[in-house]
Amino acid sequence: MATFFGEVVTGFSRAVGEEEEEEEEEEFEEDKEIREELEKRREVHVSWNELISAEISPDRRLPCTHLILSVGDNAAGFVSSYILSSGSWQVCGSIALWNERCRDCGIRNDVSPAPNSCTLFQMISDPMVLLCQCSCYVADDQLLQWCEKVFGSLEKSKLKVTVLSTCPVSEYKTIESTYTLPVPFLKALKTKEYKDVVPCPLMEQPNIADGLPAAVLTYCQVWKIPAVFYQCYTDITKLDSVTIEAFCPVLTVQSLGNLTADSAKIQETLKKMVKMRNIESNLYI
């Protein structure tokens, strides 16, 4: 299939050719069954722990004032070291999904960012503050479903959403060359309802965001929920302390600043995390 220059978001497949779709009509009954089975398997499941699931019912949702979502390793690393390390958090649920790039999105009970997981945490002192660490790949067709399932169980009247993620600096569009830009740097996008101060410049056109952060922001914009998204442009895709620290300006926002852990704990977690990564990536040990 041809590549398409002008496209602003790239999909797993760009099916503009009609041939592909037409072939489907002629498929056998058996293929149809397999496809339906696959579709069922691709459903996103949100599971809350016992205490919370007892609280949720079709007409009662989980009260939530702030949902923090980290997407990807570095954003998860930032949240783990700067927020979760305070110790006043407990695992309250998880999101399970299956797709071509994520075969085992398991449930985790520790606070370190783990590959292929999507875990929900609740603040012990203020149970209305939730945090979600998503480090698994959510496929194109699962993105909006993810939002609907997660937000579907939350009470949205006082909800505010913060999303953190990273993206390669090569995707940043600017008149200058990205080669000369000092990386990492933060850019933000916010929904119409979000009125708080944003501690970094807003993302300029023609820059855009895609993937799970875009799905969450679209959901929030359409359903009028205040949300902000901080995108960190970096030249390192793996977990790294410089990129993690680039998120620090977001802690100046009051709702996040209140959640910051002690600096000793931050440093300890950060060291542990980076050391573990170094050992994993060292061929000679």
Partner 1 sequence: MFVPLGKEDVNLRDYNLLLPAISVGNVGQLAIDLIISTLNIPKVGYFYTDCLLPMVGNNPYATNQENAKELCTNAEVYALPSHKLAVLQLRSIVIKKKLKTICQALISWIKRSAFSKVILLSSCHAYQRDDTQLLGTPFRYLITPVFQKFTADVLRELGWKEMEKVSTYPGMNDNEKRLSIPGGGFTKALYEDCCLEEIHMAVVLKFCSEGDNMPDAFSLLNQVNEWLHLVEPSNGDSHPKWKAPSSWRLLFGSGLPPALF
Q: Say whether residue 137 binds partner 1 (CB under 8 A).
A: no
Contact 144, 219 (CB under 8 A): yes
Contact 113, 133 (CB under 8 A): yes
Q: How far is the CB of 57 from partner 1 (least distance, A)?
A: 25
* 66, 69, 190, 273: residue in contact with partner 1 (rule CB under 8 A): 190
Q: Say whether residue 211 binds partner 1 (CB under 8 A).
A: yes
| Nearest-angstrom CA–CA distance, 228 and 194 | 7
| Nearest-angstrom CA–CA distance, 274 and 17 | 46
Q: Say whether residue 26 binds partner 1 (CB under 8 A).
A: no
Q: How far is the CB of 28 from partner 1 (least distance, A)?
A: 17
Q: Say whether residue 14 binds partner 1 (CB under 8 A).
A: yes
Q: At what angle do helices 263-280 and 73-82 cross, to 10 degrees?
A: 140
Q: How far is the CB of 207 from partner 1 (least distance, A)?
A: 6
- Candidate ranges 68-76, 123-131, 210-218, 245-253; the one touching partner 1 (CB under 8 A): 210-218
List Cβ neighbours of 223 (8 Å cut-off, separation of 6 or more): 151, 156
Query: Closer to partner 1 at the Cβ: 105 or 227?
Result: 227
Instruction: Compute how many residues bind partner 1; rule: CB under 8 A.
Output: 55
Q: How far is the CB of 106 from partner 1 (least distance, A)?
A: 25
- Candidate ranges 48-56, 166-174, 252-260, 273-281; the one touching partner 1 (CB under 8 A): 166-174
- Candidate ranges 53-61, 151-159, 207-215, 265-273; the one touching partner 1 (CB under 8 A): 207-215
Query: Closer to partner 1 at the Cβ: 47 or 174?
Result: 174
Contact 186, 246 (CB under 8 A): yes
CB atoms under 10 Å from CB of 10, counted, come to: 10
Count of residues in the chain: 285
* 158, 192, 238, 275: residue in contact with partner 1 (rule CB under 8 A): 192
Burial of 263 (0-12, 13-18, 19+ CB in 10 A): exposed
Handedness of CA 112, 82, 185, 188 (dihedral sign): positive
- Candidate ranges 62-70, 78-86, 154-162, 172-180; the one touching partner 1 (CB under 8 A): 172-180
Q: How far is the CB of 229 from partner 1 (least distance, A)?
A: 8
Q: How far is the CB of 129 from partner 1 (least distance, A)?
A: 24
- Candidate ranges 9-17, 26-34, 235-243, 263-271; the one touching partner 1 (CB under 8 A): 9-17
Q: Say whether residue 229 binds partner 1 (CB under 8 A).
A: yes
Residue 18 φ then ψ, to 5°: -80, -20
List Cβ neighbours of 190 (8 Å cut-off, separation of 6 or more): 198, 202, 226, 227, 228, 229
| Cis ω before 115 (30° cut-off from 0) | no
Point out which residues bind partner 1 (CB under 8 A): 2, 4-9, 11-19, 21, 24, 140-141, 143-145, 172-180, 189-192, 202-211, 213-215, 217-218, 221-223, 229
